[in-house]
A and B are shown apart, each in its own frame.
Chain A
Amino acid sequence: MARREAAWRVTARELESSLEEEKGTGERAASYLLSPFGARMNRVLVAGTLLPAEPIGRDEAQAFWRARLNDPTGAVAITAGSFQPRAMAQLRAATHPRSALVVGKVHLYRDRSGVGYVSVRAEGLRSVSENEERAALAEIVRQTLDRLDLVERIEKGAAPSEAEARSEGIPLGWIAAARESLRRYPGVDRAAFRRELRSAVRRVAGETQPVPSAGPPSPSVTVTRAPPPRPPPPPPTAAERDEESVFLDLLDEVSEVSADGYADLKELLTRVAERGLVADRAEATLNRLEEEGVVEEPIVGKLRRA
């Protein structure tokens, strides 16, 4: 049985920081956006100041609107299309910034350079009073802190048992999500994020005004964040360098005698095997050479020097 996905209570800051996805497999499987702070989100609930929406795209039959929601920690894009007619009507209705609650599905888009853009496709959206917005923000911050506590507890190796989770009211799904956060985002400064929630608590206490309509300076409605840098691959060992030179010598030999100037992959692998390089070593060497840009495979099964 498929459960209805819970609406994770998250701040804009947490959404901005979430760049890891878990794609569902199989028919109608849900996909999840993983945050560094213990959320495994399909549906979310956010609260803040919603700015007037702007239409995206020129096709009137495929209307699509986007607005920016500011909360004290950051900003996130709220979208609605013709498949969410009610939410879209609500999104379009506003002509000035107002407090709002939004329930919707998270969406991660990566452009060609790998920069991620998180948005929320609204399913439900309502203008609320300032007090309602603050109450929702209080719940968002409380649950965010609960998740952070859980992540830190697991990081220390003190993961709650099933019985402990039950008596403390920790959902089992949160434990799995926290573990996945730790796995996908090693070395994230969670204490810094915890301190960043201070601005949200001030807002709950009524010490600050709604987030100004101008919002923090940002060139676009969407928030751009680079993916976490991958650690550079370890430098090749001397043995690997030897294998590479054997591989390249044979590549040159094979391509010189071929009619089209390319080295046939099968033939090359046979020759490489004759020189004592077993299949998986040869494969690894080829991958490394391709990654380094020394060798390319412009036609499937045909290699040449790049």
Chain B
Amino acid sequence: MPPAAPSAPPTEIRLKDLGISAAPIEFVARIVTVERREVTRRSDGSRRPLLSGLVSDGTATVRFTWWDPPRDGIERGTVLRVVGAEVREFRGRPELTFSWRTRIAPASAVEMPVLDPAQLPRRTVRELTPPDEGFQIEVRVVRIGPRTVTVGEERRVVHDGLVADATGAIALSSWSDFGLAEGEAIRIVGGYVRGFRGRPQLVLDERSTVARIEGHDLPSPGAWLTAAPTPIARIEDDGGGAALTAEGLVVGLLPPSGLVYRCPTCHRSVKSGLCRIHGEVNGQPDLRARIVLDDGTGALTVNAGRADTERLWGVTLDECRARLREQPDPSLLEEQLLHALLGRRLRVRGSGSKDDFGVTVAPDSIEPVDVDLEAAAAELAPRLGGGS
């Protein structure tokens, strides 16, 4: 890229308006993540330091590379005024490069663009896709709860849950405690969307704001727990969903189903006495069923855990182990489980994600469904047309 003409004064922009242009740009943004690295120059083998990470001004988050940065003082949360950065495109998205031509100075948070919530576009849950940010959204909290996670060496509390509007539901992950409670209607400003296990997730952090609203047009929290089933073909088209309901017949089981052994530390399944992470372990017995559920429009996999498997099968883990002592062939158990489930009509609620093998559901509930035969016949008869 040719050096910009020194006469052209840089124009201050918002990161959401970042485009590929030779004109020098100026912006104020906060560092969201940063990592220090060194690259080896091919010409003389010398080491050159660089910082890379993400900067955000609340309108967009952009990857940056900073060559020959200061030795310290640049960390997560630092606000910078950047003049004369270069913009490049990588995989269709703009990226920033700070070189010797770029002037960078610390700035104060008050210099950041002021986000007037009224100016931010309003979005619905269905519209959210990673890496959206700089929007506002009104949702109902369906479910929320704290969870402790380890980030690097730090232990932090994250509030996980599910929020919904009339168009759908999305997983929520809040790194700040907004005191959210189930059933509340809220307006979120300054959240962003990321992909997590193949599904979009709405993330809140200390830059986000949450306001309580009336939310008359938002669905009740229970609405998501009593929703009618969605055709599986549509669930497949949507790539799963944070709160889905499906109903179908069991048409098969995928391996491993039945009696499995799990690592006592991480609960991963153990193969040949080896855990993928912890090596040789003494596997703990467990029951599971990977159910293929089919409603005639499509099929998905439901990963049922021990409690659901025992309830649907009517056989407990202990009984399984007793059977195994009598008949030391675990594949017989899988066959008995398949025979108990095949053709059963089940209604499943949970969250689903999609990979190369289709949609897999982590169930919140699995319930057998009874069909009212008289009602079904009465509903079908008028659809047969005239004549005999």
Contact = CB atoms under 8 A, between A and B. Distances in A.
Interface string B219-256: 00000000000111110110000000000010110000
A171 B248 CA distance: 15
B231, B252, B296, B299, most chain A CB atoms within 10 A: B296
A11 B385 CA distance: 18
Given A6-B294, A135-B345, A205-B373, A124 B380 contact: no
Tell me if B's interface is mostly helix, strand, loop or mixed.
mixed
B380 A141 contact: yes
B373 A138 contact: yes
A125 B294 CA distance: 15
Contacts of B296: 6-9, 45, 139, 143
Contact of A124 (B231, B252, B357): B252
A223 B230 CA distance: 36
A6 B385 contact: no
A143, A173, A201, most chain B CB atoms within 10 A: A201
B373 A7 contact: no
B371 interface: yes
Given A101-B249, A171-B231, A204-B380, 7 more contacts: A6-B294, A7-B299, A126-B343, A172-B237, A194-B384, A195-B385, A201-B384
A101 B342 contact: yes
25 contacts: A4-B292, A4-B357, A6-B232, A6-B294, A7-B249, A7-B251, A101-B342, A101-B343, A103-B294, A124-B338, A126-B343, A132-B343, A135-B371, A135-B373, A138-B380, A142-B376, A166-B234, A171-B297, A173-B233, A194-B384, A195-B384, A195-B385, A201-B380, A205-B378, A205-B381
Contacts of B345: 135
B72 interface: no
Contacts of A101: 249, 342-343
B233, B297, B356, B357, most chain A CB atoms within 10 A: B297
Given A124-B251, A124-B342, A1 B380 contact: no
User: What interface size band does chain B fall in?
Assistant: 35 or more
A198 interface: yes
Contact of A3 (B236, B384, B386): B236
Interface string A132-169: 10111011011101000100000000000000001001
Q: Which 5 A-B pairs have the closest CB atoms?
A: A171-B233, A205-B377, A135-B371, A138-B376, A101-B343
A85 to B, nearest CB: 10
A250 interface: no
Contacts of A197: 380, 384
Interface in A84-124: 86, 101, 103, 123-124
A150 to B, nearest CB: 12
B373 A134 contact: yes
Contacts of B295: 6
Contacts of B299: 3-7
Nearest to B299: A4
Contacts of A124: 251-252, 338, 342-343
Contacts of B119: none
B251 A194 contact: no
B234 A145 contact: no
B234 A171 contact: yes
B252, B378, B384, most chain A CB atoms within 10 A: B384
A199 B122 CA distance: 54
B43 interface: no
A270 interface: no
Contacts of B388: 195, 198
A92 to B, nearest CB: 15
Interface in B250-304: 251-252, 292, 294-299
B377 A201 contact: yes
A201 B193 CA distance: 49
Interface string B352-388: 0000111000000000000101101111110111111
Nearest to A139: B296
A153 to B, nearest CB: 14
Given A3-B298, A204-B380, A195 B356 contact: no
A259 B343 CA distance: 71
A185 interface: no
A192 to B, nearest CB: 8
A139 B295 CA distance: 9
A173 B378 CA distance: 28
Nearest to A166: B234
A206 interface: yes
A306 B374 CA distance: 66
A135 B378 CA distance: 13
Contact of A145 (B230, B356, B373, B380): B380
A3, A8, A128, A166, most chain B CB atoms within 10 A: A3
Contacts of B177: none
B218 to A, nearest CB: 20
Contact of A198 (B356, B371, B374, B384): B384
Nearest to B296: A9
Contact of B297 (A6, A123, A132): A6
A82 interface: no
B38 interface: no
Contact of B383 (A3, A145, A174): A145
Given A169-B234, A197-B384, A204 B377 contact: yes
B227 to A, nearest CB: 13
Contacts of B292: 4
A135 to B, nearest CB: 4
A245 interface: no
A205 B374 contact: yes
